Structure formats: structure tokens, C-alpha cells
Chain A
Amino acid sequence: MSIIKTKGTVFSMGVGGASAAIAQVISLDLPEVAVETFEADTLDNTDEGIPHKSTGRVEGGSVGGELFLDTAIHTAITGFLATPPSPSDSPQGTGSITFGGGGSMSFYIAGVSLGGTVGLKEGLKGRFTCKLDGTPTYA
């Protein structure tokens, strides 16, 4: 059991079959992977608790993050937006996070969004989100 250090963590996106590290990332939001459930209560249920069941499906969620935006080098993201994969492409996109203290997660990317903030007292910041296709794999 250990607390994993975050220094040295690398976020990468698949470009041309290679996994290319994204520069100037400030923080990452890991996907909230969730088993899909439904309420399974019935009129004759005498228990106080509301029963829920799994549908057997898992929502992969999204990987998000903040970075100091430089569109000259963040072309893996802007390129995805400029030329989105077609639905028949397999995989549509790939990504991974390698934690500085050990361990990693890999995932397919179905879509990407990119926004940002221009503030007087700080550098140009971008905010990106990668919608996962399926669920991540942890290693």
C-alpha cells in the first residue's frame, strides 16, 4: 500500500500510432468510471431501502485537464478537433496517463473538447476533455 506521487505524471495521446506526451499540463481529472444502475423498486417491497440493480453496462466517463495552452505545440488536441475520426475508425483515438509514482491507465478516445481562459493575472490556460470510448484499462 502506498500513496502515489504525482510529480512526473505524463498524459499522452495517440498520434499516428505513437503515444505522444502532451506538454504543459497543469492538472488532470481522472475518469469517473461508473457501473450503470437502475432503480428496481416494486409496490410490494416492504424494505425501507430503495433497491438498485446493475444494467451490466459501464460508463467510461471522461479524462479532463488544464494546461498552459500553446496551440503551436498542442496539435494533438487541435488536430483531433480539425480532423475528427470517422465512426468507422477503430480505434477512434487513444490516450494514456502514466503516473509519476508508478502505474498507468490507457483508454480509447471517442471525442475531444478544448476551451480556455484568458485572464489578466495569469498565463493563457486551456481546458480539455477527452470522452472515453469504453472503459479504461489500469496497469
Chain B
Amino acid sequence: MACAMKCRLLHPTPKAWPARGEFPAGHIIDHRQAPILVQMGAAESADEECAQAVNRTPEQLAAAQRAYTRVRLGIHPHDFEAFDEGRMAGYNQDGSWKPGPNYEEPAEDNAEEESEEESE
């Protein structure tokens, strides 16, 4: 039987159904599948056994963790740049952006377009 290994979740993570609610970021998962969560970028190793089982370079893990921050929110590839720049943080139910910390009102673009039209 495979032994349990530990990883630490990097984000608030829903519990697998049928359990309701979510694990907070930082929660320790003690399970034989812990290395899989680390390989996916959802968690970091929390003990030596898990770190050895993960079998990835630090660069691969960093890339997986960067990608997972977008994957968990369902960010479309067209919006990766905006998400990485903090201009959007996800989607509303109508598909519009949830504003990120660096969100800018699109009204400025309209103002530029209007001024361009006036100059023409």
C-alpha cells in the first residue's frame, strides 16, 4: 500500500464532492496522491517524501504554479496577459471581466477614439 505524503495547498481549494466547502490556502493534504497536486501546480511539497515523488525541476514547478492560478479560475488564453497584468481577476456570469487590482475603465479608450474622430 502506498504511503501518505504531505503537500500544502497554494490556493483555497474545493473539497472533492460530496464534501462541501473548501480547504483554505495553506491546508496540508496528507495523502498518497499529494505529489499529483504538486505536479499540477495546486500545491507545494510539505515533506521530503512528497518532494522526492514529485520528480520535477524547480522551473517546471514554478511554471505549473503560475499556470494553475489561471486554470483554477477558468481564464481563457485570450485573457492570460490581462490576468497576469492584474487587469482582470476572472469572469462574471455574463462573461465580462471581474476587475483586477490594475483594472482600467475602458472609457479612456473611447475618449481617445472620439478625439481621433474629431481631429479627422
Interface set of A (CB-CB < 8 Å, partner B): 5, 7-10, 12, 14-24, 72-73, 75-76, 79, 83, 91, 94-96, 98, 100-102, 106-108, 137
Return chain A residues, CB-CB under 8 Å to B94: 5, 101
Report the interface size for chain B: residues with CB under 8 A from the other chain: 39
- Residues on the B chain within 8 Å of A106, using CB: 17-18
Given the complex, which residues of A lie within 8 Å of B42, measured CB to CB? 15, 18, 20-21
- Known interface pairs A7-B95, A18-B23, A23-B68; A73-B13 also in contact (CB < 8 Å): no
Chain A residues with CB under 8 Å of B40's CB are 15, 20-21, 23, 73, 75-76
Is the CB of B64 closer than 8 A to any CB of chain A? yes
Instruction: Tell me, rounded to whole Å, the shortest Cβ–Cβ distance linking B96 to chain A.
Output: 9
Closest 7 CB pairs of A and B: A14-B16, A16-B31, A8-B74, A8-B91, A106-B17, A16-B33, A5-B95
Q: Which residue on A lies nearest to B75, using beta carbons?
A: A8
Interchain CA distance A23-B36 in the complex, whole Å: 13
List the A side residues contacting B36 at CB < 8 Å: 15-16, 20, 75-76, 79
Residues of B within 8 A of A24 (CB): 71
Instruction: For B37, give its contact among A15, A83, A95, A102 (CB under 8 Å).
Output: A15
Query: How far is A95 from B16 in the complex, measured between Cα atoms in Å?
Result: 7
Q: In the complex, what distance in Å separates the CA atom of A106 from the CA atom of B35?
A: 24
